[in-house]
């Protein structure tokens, strides 16, 4: 399939995609803050610079986009153009995510991944449920977990 925009326009569009302070991330931050949780943002002292870090609890939260982190849900679809480029790029992202999780575990940290499909799309969860589950995970103090859309597996 041929791209419908010029390479220059596509480049400008792709450069506008943010890596932090995304809409889903800000939404989760506001919810947790309103419930009394305090956290550090994008802490460089930990592998993967987690979106939210709770140092006292040794807990890290990642808010991942389903496309960029290869989550097999209704929001992920492999591009039909430049398949080799995209499959390589997305596989590297997936492998880096696994490596970061392993490094965090070695350091004694646990992690929670909140997937984009839990926050938007036809399978999204009620926002209060996401906040409840995140707060519950933080309070439990054990294990690592994921929050994903309703029909994405364990969601």
In a domain, 78, yes or no: yes
Q: What is the pTM of this model?
A: 0.85
In a domain, 97, yes or no: yes
In a domain, 87, yes or no: yes
In a domain, 129, yes or no: yes
Total number of domains constituting the chain: 1
CB within 8 Å of 58: residues ≥ 6 apart: 108, 109, 110
Which residues of the chain fall short of a pLDDT of 70?
1-3, 10-11, 13-19, 152-155
In a domain, 10, yes or no: no
Q: What is the CATH number of the domain that holds 95?
A: 3.40.960.10
In a domain, 48, yes or no: yes
In a domain, 154, yes or no: no
- Parent domain of 108: 17-147
Write out pLDDT tens, residues 76-111.
888 888 889 989 999 999 999 999 999 999 999 999
In a domain, 38, yes or no: yes
Write out pLDDT tens, residues 109-119.
999 999 999 99
Cα–Cα nearest to 112, from 146, 138, 136, 82: 146
């Amino acid at each position: 399939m041929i791209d419908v925009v010029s390479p220059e326009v596509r480049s400008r569009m792709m450069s506008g995609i943010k890596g932090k302070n995304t809409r889903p991330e800000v939404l989760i931050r506001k919810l947790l803050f309103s419930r009394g949780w305090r956290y550090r943002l994008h802490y460089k002292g930990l592998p993967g610079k987690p979106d939210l870090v709770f140092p006292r609890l040794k807990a890290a939260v990642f808010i991942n986009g389903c496309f960029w982190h290869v989550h097999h849900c209704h929001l992920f679809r492999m591009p039909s153009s430049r398949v080799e480029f995209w499959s390589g790029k997305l596989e590297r992202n997936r492998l880096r995510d696994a490596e970061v999780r392993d490094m965090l575990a070695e350091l004694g940290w646990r992690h929670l991944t909140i997937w984009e499909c839990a926050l938007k799309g036809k399978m999204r969860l009620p926002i209060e449920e996401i906040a409840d589950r995140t707060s519950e995970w933080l309070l439990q103090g054990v294990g690592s977990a994921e929050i994903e859309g309703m029909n994405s597996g364990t969601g």
